Amino acid sequence: MTPAASRLHQVRARVAAAAKAARRNPASVEIVGVSKGRSRPEIEEIIATGLRDFGENRVQEAQEKWPEILASHPDIRLHFVGRLQSNKAADAVALFDVIHSLDRPSLVEALGEASVKAGKRPAVYIQVNIGDEGQKGGCPIADLPGLVDLARSADLDLVGLMAIPPADQQPGSYFALLAKLAARHGLNGLSMGMSSDIEPAVMLGATAVRVGSALFEDQ
Ligand SMILES: *Cc1c(COP(=O)(O)O)cnc(C)c1O
């Protein structure tokens, strides 16, 4: 096994063990390899192991790296996981299949327009500022009902909620809260969990974990 294959194997084993403990089907959890800051050869190594979902957090960096890779791997699904400026919405819709960071009304409008123009509708998660942190991306919990309604009326393909819990705390109660909010709004998708907290995220219902360092670096 190559080092990259062994890292993916370990991530899959962590997801599977957590899913089993929660009596969930491991196949219901998508692993998104977050490749921000990684070089094309590093990414190609992971592609060679079979992963087909990758995430980036900057539109420009993704535009520089991915079109060439996608030309030889058209089955890859690209996920946008960073803060999205409204003036980058059209570029994001052109390149990405899934957007995890819808967090405000102006972006609903920009993504709606871009989708119509491109004739292509990305799947969208609303990012929630689940720990109510000042500087963090994500919509305030109090604004979520309005933003869900707006996204649905704009005909976006709203699939779920995404959050990044506060860095200095146990993530479990935040993941549980996100799951509760998603259920309240009839949303099935839960994008939560990164390298350090895959297990609690999967146990509490994650349908997509966004994994960077555990996949790209020897631990
Ligand atoms: C970088 C990043 C990740 C991956 O983080 P790791 O701790 O390296 O797994 C996940 N989600 C978002 C939004 C990120 O920016």
Contacts of 60 (CB under 8 A, 6+ apart): none
**Mean pLDDT of all residues in 111-125:** 96
Q: What spacing in Å lies between the alpha carbon of 149 and ligand 1's midpoint?
A: 28
pLDDT at 199 (0 to 100): 98
Nearest to 214 by CA among 39, 62, 3: 3
50-73 tens-digit pLDDT: 999 999 999 999 999 999 999 999
Check whether 219 has a pLDDT greater than 80.
Answer: no
User: What is the dihedral angle through the alpha carbons of 179, 136, 123, 188, rounded to the nearest 10 degrees?
Assistant: 0
Tokens of 128: 């929630």
| C-alpha 144 – ligand 1 centre gap (Å) | 23
User: Residue 32's pLDDT is what?
Assistant: 98
Which residue's alpha carbon is at the smallest distance from atom 14 of ligand 1?
A: 81
Q: What is the mean pLDDT of residues 18-37?
A: 98
Q: What is the largest CA-CA distance in the chain?
A: 49
Eight-class DSSP state of 129:
-
Confirm or reject: Cβ of 115 under 6 Å from ligand 1.
no
* Stretch 76-91: mean pLDDT: 98
pLDDT (tens digit, 9 = 90+) per residue, 143-174?
999 999 999 999 899 999 999 999 999 999 99
The pLDDT of residue 31 is 98
Confirm whether pTM is higher than 0.85: yes
Q: Which helix (H) or strand (E) holds 80?
A: strand 77-80
Percentage of residues of the chain with pLDDT beyond 90 = 96
- pLDDT-based confidence at 217, cuts 50/70/90? very high
pLDDT at position 135: 85
Separation of 216 CA from ligand 1 center, angstroms? 11
Query: How large is the average pLDDT for residues 176-197?
Result: 98
